Structure 1
Amino acid sequence: MSLSPHHYRELLAAALPVATDSDTLDPDVRTLFTPANHRKALEPDVTVVQGGPGVGKTVWFKALQNDRLRQLAAAEYQLPRLNRVTPLAGYGTALRPDQYPSQRALDHLQRIAKPEDIWTAVVLCAVRAEGISELVEWSDRVRWLLEHPDASERALAKADDNAGRHGVTMLFLFDGLDRLHSSRDVNDSLVRGILQVALDLRTRTRNLRAKVFIRPDMFDGIRLNFPDASKLVANAADLTWSPTSLYGLLFHRMGNSDNPHSAQFIADTGEWDTQGERRTPPRSLVGDSEHQKQVFTAIAGPYMGTDRRKGITYTWLPNHLTDGIGQVSPRSFLAALRKATDITGERHSTYEFALYWDGIRQGVQEASGIRVVEIREDIPWVATAIAPLGGLQVPIEESDVVQRWEERKLRTALDELSQQTAEGNEERSAPTGPLSTDYGKLIAELIELGVMSRRANGKLDLPDVYRIAFDIGRKGGVPRVR
């Protein structure tokens, strides 16, 4: 017996998180999803893991530090080496002053030492090297390293030997790298220091490794001034999500929900594998688009309206959440579905399917709003650059964009933003400022970020996931939020 629309909605409401921020939600045995194309990112020898906002960098940063989740990933990805990893946090968004310096401490440390010395001190403290780990203040730890270069080298070699004797790899994990310093130049310098230390560990030791979770735009900007970047690029991994992975995540959450209707959903969708608390979907449910389409059609109907001219529901949703470089974040995807569930339950509870098509459209509007809030927090200058375009319509000529920027004095606004951040120097604030305020280069950077794209005819476009919340129109597109 299949689920009714009402029961589907109850299951979706239970399975979809109200909050989708990875800083506040920790992965667990039930919710951790293992997309096939994330396997490479977990290899201990892969140093750089690139991913945009909301794609899972912090999820894997946390999961690798959890013994049970790391063992789970080792089993599902067939990566037995993960079972022989000792994870150590080198930097993250959580305030852990005993493990790594805070943003405030880094502001002081970068004035007295090179970035690579700061992070080498972090590594030595993590392995509890004698002489340095007994010190309490990070400034004292860094000074010890500067005053004892030979002892520092011996401590690193000793940690490498000890790890080898125990048959483990000590893995230093770095996340939240856009929160190292409020100045973009200083932030980039600190990240270069992390990459240098990571490269040194890979080339000079056998059993000490680093894994650096970083936004692609940050890595691209930094590697221009990093002589050995090619050595890191060669084995870098990307955290990307295909439409099948996104729907696989949805169905995984539905099957692992505490809601009683989860059992019927499992019975209706194939042979799931149950191991303790965790239920793993059949391969067809996470990798076969035709099977997924059948299941999602039962939930949301076949079309975004009365017929196929309005769009096929299964493809319409991820297509309208895609950024300018073809990426969709699971955070946006789940947020859109959560909003669609709530809207349908409140306003269309008698609809023949669990999700009403206009609820899905409003879900995309909600996801756009969330994405823009993320951009304001993570890359503030992007919001400063796009906000003046409100009220315009895309596709748009580059000259019209530049004209609007000139009218709104964008260069002045960007300078003021950088100055405000530098003066405030607030803890946990993100670095501000594009690489250049030349409007041509600014557009190129926005395209690289996926906030803009350029059409074959040269006109500029904005994907819906940004366009809607910035109040930019598109003829026949998802309407702006009023």
Structure 2
Amino acid sequence: MLVEGMRGAGKSFWTKVLHDPVLRGSLAQSNTDLRLKAELQRVTDCKALLWDKTGSQDLPNQISVTRWLSNPDFEPMLFWAVVVLAQFEIDPALGMPEPDPFEPWKARIEWAQDKPERMIRALKVLDSKFTATGDTVLVVIDGLDRVSTRFAHTQSLMRGLFQLLLEFRYARGLRFKVFVREDILSTAAATVSDASKIINEKVTLDWTQQDLFGLAFHTIAQEDGAFRKRYEEVSAISGKSVGERWDHPELLTAATQEKFWIWLAGPYMGNAATKGHTYSWIFKHLADGKGRISPRTFLLAVKESLTATQNNFSAHKFIIHHEAIRDGVRHASNARVEELDNEYLWIRQAVEIIKTKGRTVPIDWNDLRSIWITNKDMGNDTVSLIERNQANALIPWEPGSDWDTKVNALRDTMSNIGVLQLRERQRVQRIDLPDIFRLAYKIGRNGGIAVNRKS
């Protein structure tokens, strides 16, 4: 029921695949996990609830949600019950008001607040109806971080959604698939009893080093016949054409992938192994603080490595020059931080202050904490500046929290989403910044990749 993923891991991609009957059908017939195939083949229809920046769906907006959740008696589970029911033809006997053309959700959601038993019963009748006809209808929910800009409200909505998921955990006709960011999921889970029953069954969209290299090789192979030929020689397995797409039936082992990557980029990030091995080096330096890389980031780094080699090292004996790989990581860092700025509007302020104050990483936690709250008496500290952006961003604490709560929430949330790495050295907590973020923010690090390319 729950799918957890970082930015760029594929949450919106899977929402689109599940919602599109053609894509869903193609996947159900593909060479994929047998359990997934069986699940997809049972789905007869899919409704998607997607809160995105385009506002392409007529869903409750942030202003309305803020107004409703400001009422301490508002029950968020019934909010979800109304939104889900509205995707189907509603039985007139339920008595739910018709939507106002200018305020389509107000009357329905407010009407449902004192009818909890009636609303849940309506959903269970819907489930029974689908079960009786042999149908499985999937409701996909994505973009939960955009339903509200208030942290407490987002937590309340997640609590209500957890309660609904627990109520329909064993439903057969009406099924749910919820895609959620890891920072929202980790803080919401503690607010609902029995949430562990769902959390323990969650799926995490993780991409291993082997997955990412396989994806990169597959992507390049679609465009280059010579590449495909060499790929088949190294793997000793022939690919095949499927329509306009070239497909290889197996994911290469890590050892075979490294052999092929060495053919492309050489073995080392310089003249000797002491500079690093190219196959492991690119993965290590693209990873966030939790060792994760999104496919978008990895593909961009490989693409830029190829482009930089053509532009700057065209006479090199390998297809990819090791310095071009560093350029690829820098380029990917800029793109990843741009994504981060769109997703978390407050992170740039929390990170750039490290450079502004002339610090490098790793940095002692006490030093970083001091930097974040400098000038707090005048309200010009980093924490207060972030808090003022509450109307536009999901800030990881509630206004009015004490200073320890705020700075600890800032540190822990950034660690949870992989921007910071917390290390312990001689009983002193140290804060590190992975290269995938550090390079774009242009923060120095002893022994790390240079922020700017050497001339």
Q: TM-score, normalised by structure 2?
A: 0.85
Q: Tell me if the contact between 1:254 and 1:265 (Cα under 8 Å) persists in the aligned partners.
A: no
Match of residue 190, structure 1, among 133, 157, 163 = 157
1:125 aligns with 2:86: yes
Q: Tell me if the contact between 2:183 and 2:416 (Cα under 8 Å) persists in the aligned partners.
A: yes
Cα deviations across residues 303-342 of structure 1 (Å, max 9, x unaligned)? Answer: 1112221111111000001111221222221121222222
Cα deviations across residues 246-271 of structure 1 (Å, max 9, x unaligned)? Answer: 101111212334x5556545644532
Letter in 2 for 1:77: D
Cα deviations across residues 39-87 of structure 1 (Å, max 9, x unaligned)? Answer: xxxxxxxx11111111111111111112233234334122212112122
Match of residue 389, structure 2, among 420, 423, 440 = 420
Letter in 1 for 2:126: A
1:393 aligns with 2:360: yes
Letter in 2 for 1:207: G
Match of residue 55, structure 2, among 95, 98, 108 = 95
1:431 aligns with 2:398: no
Q: Tell me if the contact between 2:231 and 2:260 (Cα under 8 Å) persists in the aligned partners.
A: no
Trace 1:59-458 onto structure 2 (pairs within 5 A): 59-74=13-28, 75=30, 76-78=32-34, 79-85=37-43, 86-93=45-52, 94-98=54-58, 100-111=59-70, 113-131=74-92, 132=96, 135=99, 136=101, 137-146=104-113, 152-203=119-170, 205-257=171-223, 261=226, 263-264=228-229, 267-268=232-233, 269=235, 270-285=237-252, 288-390=253-355, 391-407=358-374, 409=376, 412-422=381-391, 429-434=392-397, 437-438=403-404, 439-457=407-425, 458=428
Cα deviations across residues 153-209 of structure 1 (Å, max 9, x unaligned)? Answer: 453233212211332322111111111112222222222222222222225x33212
Q: Tell me if the contact between 1:170 and 1:208 (Cα under 8 Å) persists in the aligned partners.
A: yes
Aligned counterparts of 2:413 and 2:121: Cα–Cα separation in 1: 43
- Report deviation, 1:221: 0.8
Letter in 2 for 1:52: M
Give 3-state SS (helix, strand or coil) of 1:388's partner: helix
Q: Which moved more, 1:139-148 or 1:384-393?
A: 139-148
- Report deviation, 1:412: 3.5
Aligned counterparts of 1:222 and 1:293: Cα–Cα separation in 2: 40
Higher relative contact order (CA 8 A, sep 6+): 1
Letter in 2 for 1:125: A
Q: Tell me if the contact between 1:381 and 1:433 (Cα under 8 Å) persists in the aligned partners.
A: no
- Taking a change above 3 Å as real, the CA distance of residues 219 and 411 of structure 1, as seen in their structure-2 partners, is farther
Aligned counterparts of 2:215 and 2:230: Cα–Cα separation in 1: 14
Name the counterpart of 1:31: none
Letter in 2 for 1:452: L
Letter in 1 for 2:384: D
Aligned counterparts of 1:236 and 1:464: Cα–Cα separation in 2: 29
Match of residue 470, structure 1, among 431, 441, 444 = 441
Aligned counterparts of 1:420 and 1:343: Cα–Cα separation in 2: 38
Q: Which moved more, 1:114-123 or 1:272-281?
A: 272-281
- Taking a change above 3 Å as real, the CA distance of residues 279 and 155 of structure 1, as seen in their structure-2 partners, is farther
Aligned counterparts of 2:115 and 2:361: Cα–Cα separation in 1: 59
- Report deviation, 1:388: 0.9
Gaps of 5+ in 2: none
Aligned counterparts of 1:237 and 1:400: Cα–Cα separation in 2: 37
- Taking a change above 3 Å as real, the CA distance of residues 97 and 330 of structure 1, as seen in their structure-2 partners, is closer
Q: Tell me if the contact between 1:125 and 1:133 (Cα under 8 Å) persists in the aligned partners.
A: no
Q: Which moved more, 1:237-246 or 1:331-340?
A: 331-340
- Taking a change above 3 Å as real, the CA distance of residues 405 and 414 of structure 1, as seen in their structure-2 partners, is closer
- Taking a change above 3 Å as real, the CA distance of residues 154 and 462 of structure 1, as seen in their structure-2 partners, is closer
Q: Tell me if the contact between 1:51 and 1:238 (Cα under 8 Å) persists in the aligned partners.
A: yes
- Report deviation, 1:109: 4.4
- Report deviation, 1:284: 4.2
- Report deviation, 1:150: 5.9
- Taking a change above 3 Å as real, the CA distance of residues 406 and 110 of structure 1, as seen in their structure-2 partners, is closer
Letter in 2 for 1:171: L
Aligned counterparts of 1:342 and 1:178: Cα–Cα separation in 2: 35
- Taking a change above 3 Å as real, the CA distance of residues 401 and 146 of structure 1, as seen in their structure-2 partners, is closer
Letter in 1 for 2:39: R
Cα deviations across residues 268-315 of structure 1 (Å, max 9, x unaligned)? Answer: 453224433443323242xx0111112112222221112221111111
Q: Which moved more, 1:72-81 or 1:268-277?
A: 268-277
Give 3-state SS (helix, strand or coil) of 1:394's partner: coil
Name the counterpart of 1:27: none
Give 3-state SS (helix, strand or coil) of 2:86's partner: helix
- Taking a change above 3 Å as real, the CA distance of residues 431 and 406 of structure 1, as seen in their structure-2 partners, is closer
Q: Tell me if the contact between 2:309 and 2:321 (Cα under 8 Å) persists in the aligned partners.
A: yes
Aligned counterparts of 1:276 and 1:119: Cα–Cα separation in 2: 42
Q: Tell me if the contact between 1:381 and 1:414 (Cα under 8 Å) persists in the aligned partners.
A: no
Aligned counterparts of 2:57 and 2:352: Cα–Cα separation in 1: 37
Letter in 1 for 2:334: G
- Report deviation, 1:481: 3.8
- Report deviation, 1:238: 1.0
